[in-house]
Chain A
Amino acid sequence: MLYSVIGYYSLILGLCFSLILIYFSIINFRNSKILDTKILSFTFLQFFFVIISFLCLVLSFVFSDFSNETVFNNSHTTKPLFYKIAGTWGNHEGSLLLWLFVLTLFILIFFLRSKNQPIKYKILTLVFQQIIIIGFFVFLIMTSNPFNYIYPTPEEGLGLNPILQDPALVIHPPILYLGYVGSSIIFSSVLAATTLNMISKNWASHIKKWVLISWFFLTIGILLGSIWAYYELGWGGFWFWDPVENVSLMPWLALTTLLHCILVLEKKLILTSWVIILSITTFLLSMSGTFLVRSGILNSVHTFASDPQRGLFILIFLFSLIFLSLFIFFFFHKNNENNLSSFFWLSKETAIIINNWFMMYFLSVVLIGTIYPIFLDVLSSQKISVGPPFYHKLIIPFLIPFLLIMAIGPKLKWIRSNLENKIYLISLLVISILLSYLIVKNFEYNFLINSILISSALYLFFMNLRDFFIQKYQNISQNISHFGFSLLILSILFNNLFSTEVITNLKVGETFESSKTKIIFENVSQRTGKNYESIIGNFSIQNSKGKVENFLPELRIYNQPNIVTSEADIKTTLISDKFIVINLVQNQDYFNIRYQVKPFMIWIWLSVVLISFGGLISLLKKKYEK
């Protein structure tokens, strides 16, 4: 009760500080010799009150204060403490409060970290950031207040959806939000820099840090979500082209494109308009992503259902931000780029620009696939869904030139380049083609596309491997990230091509036998957890070589809410994952069993870690040099 009151009024105070800050910013902006110390202290105070509010919500969850509606809806006394805390951001209201918390945190860090930037620029960035912050405050207080009362106070809460009670999903939203919200700083900064007409090489290297930070967190955030989906949803896949996944992929694509454009801008001072547009797009995609996932507009297999009434506010807020940025872009943006006449086809920037096109194409495919069903539903109330074949068909063929350019691009010089003394380019290509032929020669279907795709991924792989050892280029971060990407594509391809699956229904004691595997359902046992009962199946699985392994997949029956989840048993090695998941169909003796062997699964995760690691190195290197 007390926490709700404190939390709620801290929010209102925080909103007041936003208005005060904007007022002082305008005064300071006119007379901008020195930065008003009031601005910094009010920014800090605002951050402080948002923290208080956030902590109040956390404490309400910890003490299971069911007079708070959010806690009532998402918590339960028998839940472990860890998941009580995680419940804070496992819902719409709490996750928005987390957004707000990161928003205010980042603007504070921005102030502390950019001492050398012009004062006017800093103030203006603050103003734009405050506009976003106000939007979130108002949205939170008006439509999604996390501190609503319930009277009389219920005895017990409804509980958190058990599939969300998982360590990976506890840290997944905060990490993802660090990435999302990081793009808000880029957004505000770009608008400020455009207004003041100060987009320059210096600005590019200043904002690059923020791009790298958000890109790093976004990558890790998506990775965590994907790992979670792999072991928790029991389908044995890591990416389903589900709308909820797509909304996190879209900002990632935009941000990755932006990262490369910033590099070009930093070196050559071209592509300024493109950088502005990308920065704006990234943030708007991040924001609408959070809204779409948490407001229940998207019809998803993950479904975090809630009411879509908040949609109107979201749309208005989104459109005012779009309008604001378009206005600034068209009225203030002056093109003071370098002369285009120093442009040659064979150069690093051309390679980057071409791959930018591809990235934008991938982004539009994902965007259309995600929102088309929503539009069709609104316009003609026809219900449709867009499945994985849509994405595969449109994206996979274009990956081939994309990978090739990614392999050759970094070898080119800025401005103008030639391909002399590059015999290894051809020889590596030949090796890649031969290798991929050896790998896929036994496949009947899709032979051509698979072999070309594997060749180009191998090509990128070898090119980076060569660089890594020869160290002709100092750009180790790019090297690692691109290497990681080639590894990612290769692991995904091999994973898809060589996965095997057995789905069958067995009673206890029965045996399934095929030419390759023998599955013996030995027995079942029971166990009691803190807030669930579980049935554990005991399986012996024999592979074609006669090796027997023991598996213990689990079925958990949670008490509140009363939901059954499957806990897969996964045996991971460097070469392949063995994955078994069971399910009990109502009132029947049969267990539904799914057993999969998935090669190179762990390399998918490791390669994404490598990709993000490259970004981290680049970030730290820049700091070190300064």
Chain B
Amino acid sequence: MYGRKVKLRFLFIAIAFITLILSAFLVLKSLEENVIYFQSPSEIKLLSELDKKKIRIGGMVKKNSISITANEVKFIITDFKNEINVTYTGAVPNLFAEEKGVVAEGFLKDKNFFSATKILAKHDENYMPPEVKAALKEN
């Protein structure tokens, strides 16, 4: 028979291995559920079916498109090819303005309407979200 020391070491390795596999499984599963994909208005137009999951949409806020009431903010995100109407209830970041880059997080109602749950703050006047830059470059 093996000695106590060898058994112990074997036990340690086994525990390490099991926890590793278990955590890898958990992490991957959770990633799959909680990852938020980024799309531009043009990509949404190309969708064959609507995604029910939470997504992010990025682009520019169209000129003269912001309208605001007591309960919500409405505006249009454009990538200069296609655009999408956004309704939003919540706090607006400082740098949210017309003809500036914006990233909205939320759910698609259909291909033209997006209901945002969060608008992301970007704290630099010259800064444009990389996603937006890439989306604009493609056009």
Residues of A in contact with B (beta carbons under 8 Å apart): 161, 163, 233-235, 299, 301-303, 305, 339-341, 343, 357, 361, 364-365, 368-369, 372, 382-387, 389-390, 393-394, 503-506, 510, 512, 561-566, 581, 583, 585-588, 590, 592, 594
Known: A340-B5, A394-B27. Is A581-B34 also a contact (CB below 8 A)?
no
Kindly list chain A residues whose C-beta atoms are within 8 Å of the C-beta of B13: none
Task: Please give me the residue from chain A that is nearest to B54 by CB atom.
Answer: A387
Q: With A506-B70, A585-B68 given, is the CB distance from A364 to B23 under 8 Å?
A: yes
B31 and A372 contact, CB distance less than 8 A = yes
| Interface membership of chain B positions 80-91, coded 1 if the CB is closer than 8 angstroms to chain A and 0 otherwise | 000000000111
- CB distance B34 to A365 under 8 Å? no
Is B14 at the interface (CB under 8 A from chain A)? no
Q: How far is the CA of A163 from the CA of B120 in the complex (A)?
A: 16
Please name the residue on chain B nearest to A343 by beta carbon. Answer: B8
Please report the C-alpha to C-alpha distance between residue A234 and residue B8 in the assembled complex, in whole angstroms.
53
Interface string of B93-134 (1 = CB under 8 A from A): 111111000000000000000000000111111110111001
Of all chain B residues, which has the CB nearest A372? B31
In whole angstroms, what is the CA distance A195 to B33 when docked? 46
Contacts of A365 in B (CB 8 A): 23, 27
Given contacts A339-B5, A386-B35, A387-B36, whether A503 and B91 have CB atoms under 8 Å apart is yes
> Which residue on B lies nearest to A162, using beta carbons?
B123
CB distance from A234 to the nearest CB of B (A): 7
Q: Does B4 contact A (CB under 8 A)?
A: yes
Task: Report which of B19, B31, B73 forms a contact with A368, defined as CB distance below 8 A.
Answer: B31
Pair B122/A386 contact, Cβ less than 8 Å? no
- Determine the distance from Cα of A385 to Cα of B31 in the docked complex, in whole angstroms: 10
Instruction: Say yes or no: B23 contacts A361, CB within 8 Å.
Output: yes
Q: Which of A341, A505, A586 contacts B70 (CB 8 A)?
A: A505
Contact: A161 with B123, CB < 8 Å? yes
- The CA-CA distance from A564 to B122 in the complex, in Å, is 11
B66 touches A390 (CB 8 A): no
Q: Inside 8 A of B91's CB, which chain A residues have their CB? A: 234-235, 503, 581, 583, 592, 594
Q: Is the CB of B8 within 8 A of A386?
A: no
B19→A361 contact, CB < 8 A:
yes
Q: Within 8 Å CB of B68, what residues of A?
A: 505, 585, 588, 590, 592
Complex interface: chain B residues within 8 A of A564 (CB): 94-95
Residues of B within 8 A of A339 (CB): 5
Can you give 15 contacting A-B residue pairs, CB < 8 Å? A234-B94, A235-B121, A301-B120, A340-B5, A361-B23, A383-B131, A386-B34, A504-B71, A563-B94, A563-B125, A564-B95, A565-B94, A585-B97, A587-B98, A590-B70
What residues of chain A lie closer than 8 Å to B92, measured between beta carbons? 583, 585, 592
The verdict on B139 contacting chain A, using a C-beta distance below 8 Å, is no
Task: Kindly identify, within residues 1 to 35 of chain B, every residue whose CB is under 8 Å from any CB belonging to chain A.
Answer: 4-5, 8-9, 19, 23, 26-27, 30-31, 33-35
The answer, yes or no, to whether B56 is at the interface (CB within 8 Å) is: yes
**Inter-chain contacts of B96 with A (CB < 8 A):** 583, 585-586
Q: How far is the CB of B38 from chain A (nearest CB, A)?
A: 4
Taking a contact as CB atoms under 8 Å apart, the answer to whether B27 and A368 are in contact is yes
CB <8 Å contact, B124 and A566: no
